[in-house]
Structure 1
Amino acid sequence: MLPRLQDSPQERARALYLTGETTIIACRHDPRFSFMLYIPESAWDEPERELDLLISVHGTMRLQSLYRDAFSGFGRFNNCVILAPLFPVGVRGDMEAGGYKYMVEHEIRYDEVLLAMVAQAGDLINRTFGKFMLFGFSGGGHFTHRFLYLHPDRLKAVSIGAPGSVTLLDDTMDWWPGIRNFRNIFGRDIDFEALKQVRVHMSVGALDTEEWEITFPEDSPKYIAGANSAGKNRNDRLHALRETLQARGVEVWHDTAPGVPHDMRGVFPYVERFFTDTLKNRLPAPGVR
């Protein structure tokens, strides 16, 4: 949407910076973090029309714009705002790259940072987002399924892409391999009834079988008992995650992309179809495909 000569300064700014693919915006809750948006023109032209929100969370390489731009067409044709957060490496000055994947990094609660971004995005376009959709791949897949445990009441649908490590709903292991001390860490229990109301999708490439990056040796400072218990590679671990959710009554749609290695673009068609079908309310039966 281009500004017009008769537009007010506010309307010009909206047309240039808050329509379509936006620039990077600092999170007012904690400016160490930021986000970018895709805002369809209909958000302004049709203020009474229902507007959905889809959040797309980057992997370890932090390719934030890729994760936003991949969904821009989806956002345009489905009247959906796309929010892509940025959780930088080393926000505490220590070059730590994995903090956001596990929800807690010292004083930082990454789930709360994301919810603050959601509120801020709503304020920017005069909307309130209650339930939203959430996608993440690789490091973002870590974040996505753990956010699901914390806030199922805020999620309409979630797509979990090829996480390197998973948290099983196992109360014999501590966080993060299991959930035995979940309440001690987060101050709440998992709401399993709310969890069962969320549409859950998983995707992984059939050739996503490398182990070197996701195996925790016992002498590693990041090692914790149970770290490798869910399987050797991402296919194994996603399978274990699906089983632990299904055991709690959660329906899961699980796609394995033939011929695809660890590549978000390879599984994206399955992810886009899942969210499209979610909004059109015509999902096929859950299960493994």
Structure 2
Amino acid sequence: MTTELPTSPWDLPAGHPGVTFLTGPTPLFALARDPRFSYCLYVPGRHGPDGPPRPLVVAVHGTRRRVETLRDAFADFAERHDCVVLAPLFPAGITGPNDVHSYKLLSPAGFRADEVLLAMVEEAAARWHVRTDRFHLHGFSGGGQFAHRFAYLHPGRLASLSVGAPGRVTLADPGTPWWHGTADAEELFGTGPGLAALRDVPVQLVIGEQDTGTAGLAPPDERGSDPAAGNRTDLIHALRANWRTHGIDARLDTVPGAGHDHFGVLPAVQRFLAARLAA
């Protein structure tokens, strides 16, 4: 096992070519704890070791895993707000040759996608000057599935939460097993849904006004007895209603003219995150 320490941008002399790989859009780095997974970042050009750690925004990809495109869409945002953006990659095929969904459900029978992300955050903090106790989490579609389930298990790690257009939702329901509900979350993950802590997290639910189709949704035989069936607009309304009964005051932003398009709703997401960073 290597004992080599990660190099930070400020460890290198000015003009060293390595600085260009550690600021701006970075390469994909394999996670040391489990190299099946990787992550890339956008690091503002003025990033340095002085002052308080910079805020961290985590942006989680959807099923097509356009991780670098998503990271690049946050480049101007990161420079403007002096924050670091981390985009994890959960490859398809981890739990089997046809696996594309396991990361969304946190995969208690395969790998713990939530713990993989937390390991990425800690690893990034060993190289860059970022805050790790709380970070801002956003995901859309498959990433929205991951994000709201992560929030149940780790609300205390979140400075804010933005959930975009999930194709399946997990309701806070102690009478229904995971992933439809949360009855056996403690048995599966070692912790129950932290609803009390989640009430203190600013939450945005976001969806395109025209995101009313069913293309790309799991077929009925894969959804089982989904208590929140329908299109993505139906699902996000069901999640909001459920959370509000538990005192989680999630705002819902519906983006005019947008369909199921991550980059179409991203301006609304970034406005939400900008307000949280300013606060």
Same-fold call, TM cutoff 0.5: yes
Q: Secondary structure in 1 aligned to 2:168?
A: coil
In 2, the alpha carbon distance for the partners of 1:10 and 1:167 equals 49
The reply on whether 1:30 has 2:28 as its aligned counterpart is no
Q: Which residue of 2 aligns with 1:4?
A: none
Q: Secondary structure in 2 aligned to 1:124?
A: coil
Supply the AA of the counterpart residue of 1:103.
L
**TM-score w.r.t. length of structure 1:** 0.88
Q: Secondary structure in 1 aligned to 2:16?
A: helix
**Could you tell me how far 1:224 is from its partner in structure 2?**
2.8
244, 247, 253: which one pairs with 2:245?
A: 247
Distance change in 2, residues 1:42/1:49 (3 Å): farther
In 1, the alpha carbon distance for the partners of 2:178 and 2:237 equals 19
38, 42, 46: which one pairs with 1:42?
A: 46
In 2, the alpha carbon distance for the partners of 1:146 and 1:85 equals 16
**Conservation of the 8 A alpha-carbon contact between 1:132 and 1:156:** yes
Distance change in 2, residues 1:85/1:275 (3 Å): same
179, 185, 193: which one pairs with 2:188?
A: 185
Q: Which residue of 1 aligns with 2:3?
A: none
Distance change in 2, residues 1:27/1:71 (3 Å): same
Q: Which residue of 2 aligns with 1:203?
A: 206
Supply the AA of the counterpart residue of 1:268.
L
Q: Which residue of 2 aligns with 1:287?
A: none
1:158-195 Cα shifts (integer Å, max 9, x gaps): 10000001001112211111111111111112222211
Residue identity (%): 41
Task: Name stretches of at least 5 consecutive residues in structure 2 with no aligned partner.
Answer: 1-10
The reply on whether 1:149 has 2:147 as its aligned counterpart is no
Distance change in 2, residues 1:13/1:130 (3 Å): farther
Supply the AA of the counterpart residue of 2:199.
K
Supply the AA of the counterpart residue of 2:224.
I
The reply on whether 1:133 has 2:136 as its aligned counterpart is yes
In 2, the alpha carbon distance for the partners of 1:106 and 1:195 equals 25
In 1, the alpha carbon distance for the partners of 2:186 and 2:270 equals 34
**TM-score w.r.t. length of structure 2:** 0.91
In 1, the alpha carbon distance for the partners of 2:126 and 2:255 equals 38
Q: How does 1:63-78 map to 2 (within 5 A)?
A: 63-78=66-81
1:60-106 Cα shifts (integer Å, max 9, x gaps): 01000121111111111111000001111102342200000000153
Q: Which residue of 1 aligns with 2:7?
A: none
Task: Name stretches of at least 5 consecutive residues in structure 1 with no aligned partner.
Answer: 1-6, 282-289
Distance change in 2, residues 1:9/1:201 (3 Å): same
Distance change in 2, residues 1:280/1:31 (3 Å): same
The reply on whether 1:56 has 2:45 as its aligned counterpart is no
In 1, the alpha carbon distance for the partners of 2:223 and 2:142 equals 17
Supply the AA of the counterpart residue of 2:132.
F
Q: Secondary structure in 1 aligned to 2:47?
A: helix
Q: Which residue of 2 aligns with 1:19?
A: 23
1:106-125 Cα shifts (integer Å, max 9, x gaps): 33000000000000110012
**Conservation of the 8 A alpha-carbon contact between 1:119 and 1:128:** no
**Could you tell me how far 1:11 is from its partner in structure 2?**
7.2
In 2, the alpha carbon distance for the partners of 1:211 and 1:193 equals 33
Supply the AA of the counterpart residue of 2:106.
M
In 2, the alpha carbon distance for the partners of 1:215 and 1:104 equals 16
Q: Which residue of 2 aligns with 1:235?
A: 233
In 1, the alpha carbon distance for the partners of 2:63 and 2:108 equals 15
**Conservation of the 8 A alpha-carbon contact between 1:215 and 1:232:** no
Q: Secondary structure in 2 aligned to 1:51?
A: coil
In 1, the alpha carbon distance for the partners of 2:191 and 2:133 equals 20
Moved >3 Å (runs of 4+): 7-11
**Could you tell me how far 1:47 is from its partner in structure 2?**
1.7
1:139-172 Cα shifts (integer Å, max 9, x gaps): 0000000001010000000100000010011122
